[in-house]
């Protein structure tokens, strides 16, 4: 995303060609950085299958997605992942391992930025599966029979890595 005005002095900022380049104010010299936004998500696994959620909201409405979302300020990715899973699925889960960190681009309406998502492999230990928040359906998928309509780019890499992780650690 690009900022239009300086947050320090209010002057108009120079427009950069690449939307993620830092913008420095020509009046006061203040630099506005465009960092990746931190997210966290969970691969909920049971009997060799993974739980995907169907998005009820744009972008990628009605596509399958991994449960997760944006972190709050100061929130550890692990805590954010547990919170998002509880909000979206109603499940309490136990962490089995950290899968990895993934970069993606989020582009919706006039917003465009990078995301940096931490993913954990987890298993359900309680709660009750129920659609809520920005999710309208769930399904358990075998890792060799995933749906075609998957939201965003990075979940393809995440699910590929999960397949390897399951062979190795499960
Ligand atoms: Zn300024």
143-165 confidence digits (pLDDT tens) = 999 998 999 999 999 999 999 99
pTM above the 0.85 mark? yes
Tell me, what's the pLDDT at 17?
A: 78
Domain boundaries of the chain, sorted by first residue? 1-34, 37-169
The H-assigned helical ranges of the chain are 77-89, 154-169
pLDDT (0 to 100) of residue 111: 80
What's the rounded Cα separation, in Å, for the pair 73 and 88? 20
Distance from residue 12's CA to the centre of ligand 1 (Å): 8
What value does the mean pLDDT of the chain take? 92
Which is higher by pLDDT, 104 or 168?
Answer: 104
- What digits encode the pLDDT tens for the residues 34-44? 899 999 999 99
Per-residue pLDDT at 133 exceeds 70: no
Distance (Å) from CA 107 to ligand 1 centroid: 27
Cα(26) to ligand 1 centroid in Å equals 7
- Does the pLDDT at position 169 exceed 90? no
**Helices and strands: H and E segment counts in the chain:** 2, 9
Q: Determine contact, residues 12/4, Cβ cutoff 8 Å.
A: yes
Per-residue pLDDT band for 6 (boundaries 50, 70, 90) equals: very high
pLDDT digit string, tens, across residues 83-98: 999 999 999 999 999 9
State CA 108 to chain mean position distance.
Answer: 14
Q: Is 80 exceeded by the pLDDT of residue 134?
A: no
Distance in Å, CA 33 to ligand 1 centroid: 13
Q: How far is the CA of 15 from the centre of ligand 1 (A)?
A: 14
Q: How far is the centre of ligand 1, averaged over its atoms, from the C-alpha of 7 (Å)? A: 7
Q: Which two tokens stand for residue 32?
A: 């506005």
> The CATH number of 37-169 is which of 3.90.230.10, 3.30.70.980, 3.20.20.70, 3.90.79.10?
3.90.79.10
- Distance (angstroms) between ligand 1 centre and the Cα of 2 equals 15
């Amino acid at each position: 995303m690009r900022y239009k005005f300086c947050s320090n002095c209010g002057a108009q900022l120079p427009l950069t060609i690449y939307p993620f380049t830092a913008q420095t104010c020509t009046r006061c010299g203040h630099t506005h950085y465009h960092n990746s936004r931190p997210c966290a998500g969970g691969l909920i696994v049971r009997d060799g299958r993974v739980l995907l959620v169907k998005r009820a909201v744009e972008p990628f409405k009605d596509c399958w997605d991994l449960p997760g979302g944006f972190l709050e300020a100061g929130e550890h990715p692990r805590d954010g992942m547990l919170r998002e899973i509880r909000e979206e699925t109603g499940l309490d889960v136990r962490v089995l391992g950290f899968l990895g960190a993934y970069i993606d681009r989020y582009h919706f309406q006039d917003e465009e930025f990078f995301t940096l998502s931490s993913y954990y492999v987890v298993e359900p230990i309680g709660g009750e599966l129920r659609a809520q928040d920005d999710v309208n359906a769930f399904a358990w998928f075998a890792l060799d029979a995933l749906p075609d309509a998957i939201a965003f780019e990075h979940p393809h890499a995440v699910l590929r890595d999960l397949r390897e992780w399951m062979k190795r650690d499960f």
